[in-house]
Structures are given as C-alpha cells and as structure tokens.
Amino acid sequence: MTAPDWVEPRPYQQRAIRAWFEADCSGIFRMATGTGKTVTALQAASQVAASAESGFLLVITVPYQHLVDQWAEEIRDFGGDPVYGYDSRQKWQPRLERELLELNRTARDTTVLVTTHQTLSKQATHQTLARAKVPIMLVGDEVHHLGAPHRQQALLLDADLRLGLSATPDRWYDDAGTEALTEYFCGTVFEYGLEEAIAAGALCEYYYIPHIVELTDEELEVFEQLTTEIGQQWPNSDEGDLNVNLDDHPKLKHLLFERARLIGTAENKLDLLTELLERQSNSQYTLVYCSDGSTGLESNSGRRHVDATTEALRTDCEFSVSRFTAQESRSEREQILNQFEQGDTEILTAIRCLDEGIDVPATRTAYVLASTTNPRQYVQRRGRILRNHPGKEVAVIHDFITVPDADTHPEFLAEGRQRSDQSLIEKELTRALTFAKGARNHPDAEVDGIPTTEGSLQNLKRKYNIVSI
C-alpha cells in the first residue's frame, strides 16, 4: 500500500501525520469537513505499511455503507484491494479469513478491511479479527458515531494503532460517549478549523445570509400547545435543563420531535424560498436542504417536505429540479449528481445528504430550510457546501431562522412560553453566529447581487435580551 505520486499532501496534512506518529500512533484528527481527512489517514496508513516488518492489517470503519464504497475507491488509488465488510457476512468473511491466514504466514504484506460501525460492533467481527497475528491499525471515520452506547462495542477491538477522524468529535450532550472516545483514541492530536482551511485555500470563501421566518397563526397555535405539553412532561418542568435522557421519556421525545418538525417545515419557508430563487441571478448549482419530516400541522397529515418543495419549484416556478434522497438508488444518485455538475439540473432538493458524507462540491448556493441546532450536523453541512470545485470561487449559504412570532414582545408572553421562545431563539442564533464567524460578510449587511430579506439577528438578540452569544 503506497501513496500515488500525484497525491501531494498539504502542509497541514503533513503536520497532522507527524503529530499522530509523535503520539505513538494514537489520536484523533479534528479537521474541518472538506479538508481531506480521508487522504491524510491513508497517507499515515501507507507510512505504517512501509515500515511494517511482518505484515499489517488496516481496519477502516465508517457510519454508512455508501462511505465504504467511497473509501474503497480512495484505497485503490493507494494500491490496495480492500475487503468490503458489509451486507451478508458470507459475501466477505471467507475472503477476510483467507487473507488473515496469508498475513500470518507472511504470504501477504497488507490486508485492508473497510466496514461499517454496525458490523465492527458485532462480536463475530471481533472474533475474526482476533486471528490476526500482525499489527492492526483502526481508522474510525466520523468517529463521533462510535461514542454512542450501541456502537461502543467497536472500541473493544485491540488495535495497536488508532486514528479517529471527525470535524466534531465531541458528542452532543453525551459526556460519557465523548469520554469513551477520548480514552480509546487518547484524545485529539491535531486540529484544523474551518477558518484556517479557508485561509489556506482548502475550502472556498462564503457569504452567509440569514432569513428570519415566522410561524403562521395556525402553526403558532400548535407550537404553543406543544410547548405547554413539553413543559408538563419535562423533568423539573425546566426546559432549560438539558441533562435529560430522552430515551427515558418517550412522550417528551415525541413532543420535541413534533415541535422540531413543525419548525422545520414551516409554511412561510417555502414561500420565501421561491421568492429568493426568482430573485437569484443564476439558479444553477443550487442545493435546497429540506426537512425530513412531513408538512402540515400534525405529523403525517401532509406530504413529505422534500416532495412538496420539489413540486413547488418544478411546477410553480419551472426550475429544473431533481430530488436527492435515500429513496433514489445508487445509480440514480450518480446520474443526478452528474447532471447537477454539468448544469443540466439547476436545483437539488435533498434530505440529510450533507450529514451522511455525500459530497456535492458543485454547489455554489445552498438554502438551508431544515435548520438544526446540533453543532455536529450544521458544522458538517457548512463544510460540505464549501468544498472546492472547478469554476467555484465563492459559496452562498442562505439560512432560514425560525421564530414563533417576531412582532410580540417577550414580556407580554406567559412565563413558560417566554422561556421556550428564548431557548429556541438562542439555539438558532448559536448556529447563525457560528456560520457568520467565518463568512465574508456581516450577517445583517446587504450584499450586492445576493437576495436578502428584512430582519436582523442583532434585533433578535436585543429583543430577547440574549447577551451570552
């Protein structure tokens, strides 16, 4: 396994590899999405392979099956012929066992297994890998997933060399999971943030355009009812108390999901989207990030948000639009992405694709309708939008920020509703100001040539007396 001549690691990637070797080949690379974590890890692995005296087993674990295929393509560039460790065990385990036997007999110098976190968490996989009598290197891609309780079994693998990869290795409201990752991988050995990546040209610059969207009167009524019920279900009746395991409170979990769905599919978002797209000078290379829920005041009372959005843009506005979701087959996805890159399809409407490692680097303008308050998700979404691509000099991110009611002052609201509104807006503003920090523009400023709307993040902060952000 050898790095190809045409792969020239960037200086920061070289620093990451040195830091990992200096830490006795254990540690996490905390690198911004889009900065080449895959290539950096394979560079490190190729150096390990070159120095291995009696064979070497490389195990790469990823959260999703399509990432197995992506990694396998990169590995072949490094001269490897990986075992695909997913689907039926009968399809891949015999080959893995044969190669491990050859490794142990020194009839082979390297074996590469690319598998999923789910498969690596199984005892049968560990029993097979335990047969290796050579050094094992484990690379955990999107390593934050391995901190989940049902995935920590993967961390029982007794790997001699350990490398974790993630833009956001800390787990959201899961200190125990984060601690498990830190203990297994021995902490972070290299960090490379988004602003550094933009300055170095590893990611493109961007404008950040927030848009404040209000709920309709009907949505506001449902929002208030859900908020009241959430307050009644919340332990200690304090929604500000975040140290709550929602799995222990299924009713509360359902209510929070319903309120998040209502916010994510707010009716005014689609109206605003069509208005902005019609004002946009060029609609090519536009990604619309939709909610994965259904429209309507009640769950499953309407159509899927992505379907409603796709039809509105295609039928009412006559744009060339393709839907890009898990329902499309792999071949359909490849065709859709190719048409998008060629400019034949103007707009992609998508669900979660930016959370799952799928790259759409041709994207120049993104409309984020399905806002998330999970830092891991929104940091990754931004990084994937900022990937470099031929002809792409700058990206534009439109972020739809939902507020219950922009006109009513908080002091006129009931105390419970006031706390809930403030909590929602604090979360929305935390994301907004994270996005704004690395952007070319001030979020409340007009930008020539880019459609903006009335509204001010600063006014929201003042109105709700939010000074901590």
Residues 367-379 have pLDDT tens digits of 999 766 677 778 8
pLDDT at residue 361 is higher than 60: yes
Say what the pLDDT of residue 237 is: 53
Instruction: State the span(s) of the chain assigned CATH 3.40.50.300.
Output: 11-198, 204-463
Say what the pLDDT of residue 351 is: 85
On the CB side of 168, CA atoms within 13 Å amount to 17
Residue 391's contacts (CB-CB under 8 Å, 6 or more residues apart) are none
Q: What CATH class is the domain 11-198?
A: alpha beta
Average pLDDT over the chain, rounded to whole? Answer: 88
C-alpha–C-alpha distance, residues 296 and 274, integer Å: 19
Task: Return the minimum-mean-pLDDT range out of 37-46, 69-78, 228-237.
Answer: 228-237
Amino acid at site 343 = G
Domain 204-463, architecture per CATH: 3-Layer(aba) Sandwich (3.40)
Contact 20, 190 (CB under 8 A): yes
Supply the pTM of this predicted model. 0.85
| N-term to C-term CA, the chain | 48
DSSP one-letter string for 99-112: HHHHHHTTS-SEEE
Tokens 């996005």 correspond to 435
Q: Between helices 37-51 and 65-77, what is the axis angle to 10°?
A: 50
pLDDT at residue 411 is higher than 60: no
- Condensed to tens digits (0 to 9), the pLDDT of residues 160-219 reads 999 999 998 988 778 889 999 999 999 999 999 999 999 999 999 999 999 989 889 899
pLDDT at residue 129 is higher than 60: yes
C-alpha–C-alpha distance, residues 96 and 99, integer Å: 5
Say what the pLDDT of residue 301 is: 64
Residue 398's contacts (CB-CB under 8 Å, 6 or more residues apart) are 209, 210, 211, 276, 365, 366, 367, 368
C-alpha–C-alpha distance, residues 41 and 329, integer Å: 29
pLDDT at residue 424 is higher than 80: no
Say what the pLDDT of residue 425 is: 82
**What share of the chain in percent tops pLDDT 70?**
90
Say what the pLDDT of residue 300 is: 65
pLDDT at residue 399 is higher than 60: yes
Residue 26: other Cβ atoms inside 10 A: 18
DSSP one-letter string for 243-262: ---GGG-HHHHHHHHHHHHH
